Amino acid sequence: MILFRFAYITLITNFFISLVYSTPTSVLKYSAGHLHIPIKKVDNLSKRKLQRRKSTEIDLQHESGIYYSAILEIGTSHQELPVLFDSGSSDMWVSSSSNPYCLESEGYVNQTYNGETVTPFIDCKALGTFDYNGSSSFERLDIGRFYIKYSDESFADGFWAKEKLRLNGIDISTLQFGVADYATVPVGGVLGIGFPRRESVKGYDDAPNEFYPNFPQVLKNEGVIGVAAYSMFLNEVSSDAGSILFGAVDPTKYTGSLYTFPMVNEYPNVVDKPATLAMTLQALGAKSDSSCKYKTFTTTKQAVLLDSGTTLMTAPPEIAEEMAFFCWGPTYNESEGIFYFDCPSDDDDTEFIFDFGDLKITLPLASLVISSSGDGHCGFGLTPASYSMTLGAIFLSSAYVVYDLDNYQISIAQAKWDGNPSQKSRVRIPKDGTIYGATKATATPWTTDEPVKVDYDMFEDHSSCIASQNETNQTSSESSSSMTSPVNSTSLSLQVSVTSTTADSQPTADQTSTTLDAEPSSIVFPDDNKAVTIVVTATTTVASSNMCQCTF
């Protein structure tokens, strides 16, 4: 999970976006967060165990381009707390009201953590915290310490607990989660929905060293869903909300075919089955039809993590740079870890193509642009990283993704932003993971960390346009060559403007200008004691021309 990194948040605040916080009822502005399960309720549900449903849908709120959250109701005091839904992690944890990293935290002056002075910086009044002393049903578990550290170096540190949880009418009382007395992650809490084997229960002092049923597993164990699987629809970047549908698929939220791919095991030397929600990316490129511009950045297979808890995307530096330079000449700020550039026009048709073998997901340029605050500069939603490629929320907004944790597979399709969802349209995911209407992918998955090249052309369908562009480039090169060596001939028709000047480059009084169509060898130069400036325009069938100015 990467929430920009704190450096990124500073950059967005000062350069691209002004983060405005709202009243406690809307929690974070970012934006207001809420949780909704649009299913039929059972009478007195709060007094019953979880009941079996065909599916459970949770609406997510898009927190101003930062992350997707839902409101969780905790304890007998019914405290409402927005939690980040994170497919890249597996634990649920909440921030304690005593967290000294909170601004205006009472009684925590000059606090230290691991010997270092704590500097408060998190607006916990806006983000929310959990006061476990205010709930009579709270149970602190004597199983060891809770600790989790994310790839952006943020962390949460505390203890394990159980408590009554409610997701707008559905009660859960068996979920183990962490309570962070110390946390540097700027959220009220995180609800991880990845594999249990990714839980943060090992590798640190006083760790419990025992996995537990996390949120998707609890829904399955308690009979809410028949399989630990869920479909994610984050909606377009400009939208305020998306949804997660546990145990089912909604065909109205995607267009084209839904393809089912095997997950890949990123750590074959450590575990025998996939532990992350990753799949194989076969190739990556970009295109602009209006400018007849097409480029393939890589055809090397690699594992990519689909992570809703990461805001942007990460890619190896060489790929990130090529993507950023496809349309613009951006500037890379190394300290902030982001590219920025002049904002593109609204009619820019640039698209980035993610090729998974049987399926290509198209990402419009607008989805990758971090809007400016009015100064005409924008950020690019991709950061260079030396570790494996991560496709965060900025990518997932264009994809409809089904994560099947029981059967180790991911189904994916192009998202349909203008869909008309309804309860009747949902397709239940069976225990064997065979989704009705989905197609099993034939592409061979990535299996090791050895590079595997895919030998094919991503943009074969545009070969005629590419050929025309190459011909134009060759023509331009030949024209330039003929001007530096005027004795060489060319088959182009050249429009030549000849201006006679003196040797000191000052125009003579009897300056003449001649325009003619001719081969370079037929151009008649003025007197030998005068310099000649020749402006040559190569006339081709392409709308744009190539200009070359040469002085002999």
CB distance 305 to 390 below 8 Å: yes
Instruction: List, in sequence order, every beta strand (DSSP E) within 358-408.
Output: 360-364, 369-370, 377-380, 382-384, 389-391, 399-404
Give the alpha-carbon dihedral of 285, 289, 291, 294, to 10 degrees: 20
Is residue 148 within 8 Å of 92, Cβ to Cβ?
no
Closest CA to 231 of 242, 217, 221, 241: 242
Phi, then psi, of 95 in degrees rounded to 5: -85, 130
Question: To 10 degrees, the CA torsion angle through 146, 152, 154, 158?
Answer: 0
Q: What is the dihedral of CA 443, 236, 217, 249, to 10 degrees?
A: -70
The angle subtended at Cα 157 by Cα 381 and Cα 24, nearest 5°, is 65
Residue 104's CB is within 10 A of a number of other CB atoms, namely 9
Backbone phi and psi for residue 183, each to the nearest 5 degrees, phi listed first: -155, 135
What is the phi/psi pair of residue 544, to 5°?
-85, 155
Which residue, 213, 197, 201, 204, is CA-closest to 271? 197
CB 256 within 8 A of CB 439: no
Which positions are annotated as active-site residues? 86, 307
Nearest Cα residue to 255 out of 69, 129, 424, 415? 415
* Residue 200 structure tokens: 């943060």
Write the CB contacts of 231 (distance below 8 Å, at least 6 apart in sequence). 244, 245, 248, 249, 250, 253, 400, 401, 402, 403, 411
Count CB-CB contacts under 10 A for residue 117. 9
Q: Which DSSP string do the residues of 222-281 spell out, in sequence order? A: TTS-SSSEEEEE---TTSSEEEEEETEE-GGGEEEEEEEEE---S-TTT-SS--SSEEEE
Q: Which two tokens stand for residue 212?
A: 């537990």
Residue 443 to residue 422: CA distance in whole angstroms? 32
Which residues touch 272 (CB under 8 Å, ≥6 apart)? 265
**Tokens 């500097």, residue located:** 119
